[in-house]
A = this chain, B = another copy of it.
Amino acid sequence: MNQPVNIVEKSKEIQKPWSPIEILRVNNQVVRLALFEGEYHWHKHEKEDELFYVLSGNIIIQQKGHPDQQLNEGDMIVIKKGIEHKPTSKEKSFVMLFEPISIDSKGD
Q: Indicate if the CB atoms of B31 and A79 lie closer than 8 Å.
A: no
Q: State the majority secondary structure of interface residues on A.
A: strand
The contact string, 1 if C-beta is below 8 Å from chain B, for chain A 64-108, is: 001001011011111110010000000000000011100000000
How many monomers of this chain does the complex have?
A: 2
Size range of the chain A interface in the assembly: 35 or more
8 more contacts with CB within 8 A, not counting A4-B71, A27-B48, are A4-B75, A5-B75, A6-B72, A9-B74, A23-B76, A26-B78, A26-B98, A27-B100
Using CB atoms and an 8 Å cutoff, list the residues of chain A in contact with chain B. 1-9, 23-27, 29, 31, 48-51, 53, 63, 66, 69, 71-72, 74-80, 83, 98-100
